[in-house]
Amino acid sequence: MSAPLLEARSVSIRFGGLKALSAFSLTISRGDLKGLIGPNGAGKTTAFNVLTGVYEPTEGEVLVGGERVNGKRPFQINRLGVARTFQNIRLFKQLTALDNVRIAVLPETRRWFDAARVQALKRGGAAQRALGAALDATDNYRDWWRAFLRTPGFLREEAQVTARAEELLSVMGLSHRKDELASSLPYGEQRRLEMARALGTRPKVLLLDEPAAGMNTREKADLMVLIRALRDRFDVGILVIEHDMKLVMGICEHLTVLDHGETIASGDPAVVRKDAKVIEAYLGEAPAHVA
């Protein structure tokens, strides 16, 4: 079996004296639909932030497609195929729905200089580094000049970007909103727009941070169906954070439960549900603590 698309190997994160996450392990493979649950402040979002490069692990390592990504910047990890949504919705509010998705879609520009070669140069001696930087800059600014001159190649790429973004909007049922500002969309649509945007980056793994937050039961049920459909349609592995346990039980094939940064249970939802520690964390039935 090939390496999992995304893997955390006993990752720990410490903020000063606080251990926000300890020995967190997880793998996501193609077609997975896994859940990450736990009460408020359990470290779920911290786990997402580590996986996407917002925080660097204090211990352990994160691998994307078998490649160690500790210390890589979020945009680099995104380009390797990991996309996410945010718990508190971070759309580009003053831009249209279409632009929100278009930003995520990378135009397929061919570079003059081979990226791997330039990177190799940048690791060399001073002269080589300078050359590498110059080649890189040449390519970067060439891109801008293509945009300034609107070359046929540039226009073709932009048309592809737009077509792709429109396709994603239509998959998420947002076509009718494409020219509206993201901030003017109703809450549920904003959540869907965030997913469309994440899918725009052509991820292999999709991380959804409380996609159902603030929705009513009916909307939540629809959303769960949609998430499953997305997995099948885009052939991605999905990890969902959700705090409502009942809900994730319904769709996730695997659950990891966090509490105070510790993984207290992990495995099949049916088994996890009956785990004593999980019940304790959720219901607070902890006579030992109370006493």
Partner 1 sequence: MKSFLPVLAALTVLAVLQLVLGSSEYFVYLASLVGVNVVLAVSLNVINGMTGQFSIGHAGFMAVGAYVAGTTSLLLKDDQLSFLPPAMSDQLFLLLALLLGGAAAGAFGFLVGLPSLRLRGDYLAIVTLGFGEIIRVVIQNSDGLSKSLAALPGLAPVGRFVGQFGGALGVSGVPQRSTFFMVWFWVFVLVLLARRLSDSSHGRWLKAIREDEVAAEAMGVDTTSYKVRAFVVSSFFAGIAGGLFAHFVPIINPGSFTFVKSMEVVVMIVAGGLGSTTGAIVAAVFLTLLPEGLRSLFLKLGGGDASLAQKVDQVRMPIYGMLLVVIMLTRSQGLFGTHEAWDLWARRKRAGAKA
Task: Report the residue number, 139 or 262, with the smaller CB distance to partner 1.
Answer: 139
70: phi then psi, degrees, rounded to nearest 5: -50, 130
Q: Does 263 bind partner 1 (CB under 8 A)?
A: no
Amino acid identity for residue 98 in this structure = L
Minimum CB separation from partner 1 for residue 21, in Å?
A: 19
Six-digit token pair at 54? 């917002």
Cα 216 off chain centre by: 24
Q: Out of 45, 52, 190, 263, which residue is the one contacting partner 1 (CB under 8 A)?
A: 52
Nearer to partner 1, 5 or 265 (CB): 5
Which of these segments, 1-9, 24-32, 198-206, 267-275, binds partner 1 (CB under 8 A)?
Answer: 198-206
Cβ of residue 76: shortest distance to partner 1, in angstroms?
Answer: 8
Using DSSP's 3-state secondary structure scheme, residue 38 falls into coil
Question: Look-up: residue for tokens 């001159």?
Answer: 149
The least CB distance from residue 103 to partner 1, in Å, is 5
Give the burial class of 141: count Cβ atoms within 10 A of its Cβ; 0-12 exposed, 13-18 middle, 19 or more buried: exposed
Count of chain residues binding partner 1 (CB under 8 A): 39
Contacts of partner 1 in 67-86 (CB under 8 A): 73-75, 78-79, 83-84, 86
201 binds partner 1 (CB under 8 A): yes
Alpha-carbon distances of 246 from 37, 145, 212, 242, rounded to whole Å? 11, 53, 12, 10
Residues in CB range of 98: below 8 A, 6 or more apart: 162, 165, 166, 169, 178, 179
- Region from 20-28, 144-152, 168-176, 240-248 binding partner 1, contact rule CB under 8 A: 144-152
Candidates 20, 36, 51, 104; binder of partner 1 (CB under 8 A) is 104
How is residue 37 written in tokens? 């649950």
Distance CA 250, CA 224 (A): 8
Q: Does 169 bind partner 1 (CB under 8 A)?
A: no
Considering the complex, what minimum distance in angstroms separates the CB of residue 112 from partner 1?
A: 17
Q: How far is the CB of 179 from partner 1 (least distance, A)?
A: 9
- B/e letters for 88-115, b = 16+ CB within 10 Å, e = fewer, are ebebbeeebbbbbbbebbebeeeeeeee
Quick check: 144 binds partner 1 (CB under 8 A)?
A: yes
Cα(105)–Cα(123) distance, integer angstroms: 29
Binding mask 107-126 for partner 1 (x = CB under 8 A): x-------------------
- 85/256 with CB nearer partner 1: 85
**Chain residues in the site for partner 1 (CB under 8 A):** 52, 54, 73-75, 78-79, 83-84, 86, 90-95, 99, 102-107, 140-141, 143-144, 147-150, 154, 157-158, 161, 197-198, 200-201
